[in-house]
Amino acid sequence: MKFHVPEMVFGLGSLAEAGFCAGRLGARRPFVVTDPGIIDAGWVDELLAHLAEVGLEPRVWAGVTPNPKDHEIEAAYRAYVDYGGDVIIGIGGGSALDAAKGVAIVSGNGGSIHDYAGVDRVEQPIPPQLMIPTTAGTGSDVSQFCIVTDTANAVKMTIMGRSLVPDISVTDPRLLSTMPQDLAAATGLDALTHAIESFVSLGHNPLADGHALSAARLVAKALLRNVEEPGDERARMWMAQASLEAGLAFSNAILGATHAMSHQVGGLYDLPHGVVNGVLLPHVIRFNAEVVPERFAMLADAMGLRVEGVPDREAAELLAHYVQDLAASVGAPRRLGALGVTAADIDRMALTATRDACLATNPRAAAKEDIAGIFRDSL
């Protein structure tokens, strides 16, 4: 068993450490990848000030959109080369952080970002990475995953490999305060899905299990509060920790069918990843409970459900209901149809889901027909 983690700096005000972190990575010409919303929120200016404190003059590239696209990676890479950049700094939600990873991949290995879809295809060293999340859910700041949209085929590519674990992750819960409610909800549901899927994954292990259970417990306690009361500092702290711990868990235990399926929905419809997860997760819990009900019972207990003395299968069903109700309480629909997904695309999405790397560690084997059935149930 291996457990890969970055150096982690966590706590209120920790963004002030960014300049020293970049310097420890050898930065001289750091390249900052972000998006316009993070600039407008003021966090990039604060980051630049901290980099200036240690004598660094970074270049900022802010062309990332939600569900980062292959052509955005290419444009960012060209800007990185033109600048002569070294350390890559991602600041933002999962889209900005994954785009930053994409630049690092192409910089160190050449070719197109498409060449690296799959597992362990990034073979050459990549530039140092410093990641600073501004949302609580994606886990990209500590994980070995990079998700990029293949625009020609309208699918999300899963790029996975140990070299993609960032060198340093800086989590300052203050940065969560500027998330709009819908983004706080979506990323929180993503964190919950990471926790649950990693705990039941075929790759689960004792080190990942502890982080997964802790993350699930924190999401149950804090997600609704964080969405409804953005000024609640304690809830922000809990969700920032939940995101980090869920990221550590799924980076080392990998995921399952929910993510394999949501990547296809997001790629085809360009929908918020966490929201799609929130809709699909209860259905995947029911599917997987056929083989590992005891794992779901442990999750249900950790999240505060009354399951003592309840048979494991019933506890798993209670968990599925709870997840669906929690997702609805923060604004997610109960059905994919409400997001515009149609039955006409089910076969296509089911086929591409079977090729997604996340499906390999789902606890129950799932053929195309099984995936299509879950999609139909979720419509």
Domain boundaries, the chain: 7-175, 179-378
For 167-206, write each residue's pLDDT tens digit: 999 999 999 999 999 999 999 999 999 999 999 999 999 9
Any residues with CB less than 8 A from the CB of 78 and at least 6 apart, and which? none
- pLDDT of 19 higher than 90: yes
Going by their DSSP bridges, the two strands 168-171 and 7-10 should be labelled as parallel
- pLDDT of 1 higher than 90: no
Topology given in CATH for the domain delimited by 179-378? Dehydroquinate synthase-like, alpha domain (1.20.1090)
User: One fold for both 7-175 and 179-378?
Assistant: no
For 115-168, write each residue's pLDDT tens digit: 999 999 999 999 999 999 999 999 999 999 999 999 999 999 999 999 999 999
100 vs 73: CA distance, rounded Å:
8
Q: What is the pTM of this model?
A: 0.96
Q: Which residue has the higher pLDDT, 2 or 268?
A: 268
Place 72 in a pLDDT band, splitting at 50, 70 and 90: very high
For 309-352, write each residue's pLDDT tens digit: 999 999 999 999 999 999 999 999 999 999 999 999 999 999 99
Short-list 286, 291, 287, CA closest to 316: 286
- pLDDT of 2 higher than 90: no
Q: What is the pLDDT of residue 230?
A: 84
Q: What is the pLDDT of residue 240?
A: 98
For 21-30, write each residue's pLDDT tens digit: 999 999 999 9
For 223-250, write each residue's pLDDT tens digit: 999 999 988 999 999 999 999 999 999 9
Write the Ramachandran bin of 331: left for phi over 0, alpha for psi from -120 to 50, otherwise beta.
left
Q: Are 114 and 150 in contact (CB under 8 A)?
A: yes
What CATH code would you report for 7-175? Answer: 3.40.50.1970
With vertex at residue 375, the alpha carbon angle to CA 357 and CA 215, rounded to the nearest 5 degrees, is 60
